[in-house]
Structure 1
């Protein structure tokens, strides 16, 4: 598992032929939502990939380029305390 370094990717491929996407933060496989929208910069697209389990994300846009936002803690529904 990767650390919380915003310069490191959040997602990687896994499975036969790299057919699946794995969150490198929480380990979820194929639980990623991809979004593409016209960029607010007026050209190109803003894209986002976000883990449905831990909400870690990778985004790209024409102004700021690629950036990762790894989750720093579990979501409240992932907390198993009783």
Structure 2
């Protein structure tokens, strides 16, 4: 997972790499597999749902979303 990466998720949300790590550390998500060439990742939720995380550019985020650099990398939030 690259520092500063923003992901579009199959659940309709957008997450920064810091947001993803926060979910890993809390146990909400478990990493399953990743594609080192594309940067795509797949995670399992606590409910057993499989989610796909696809790297996306910050410029392609919907207008209502904004990014913030935090100590752990990048965070995405809704305005």
Question: Do both share a fold (TM > 0.5)?
Answer: no
TM-score by length of 2: 0.32
Relative contact order higher in (CA < 8 Å, ≥ 6 apart)? 2
Higher normalized helix content (fraction of residues): 2
Q: Which has the larger radius of gyration?
A: 1
TM-score by length of 1: 0.32
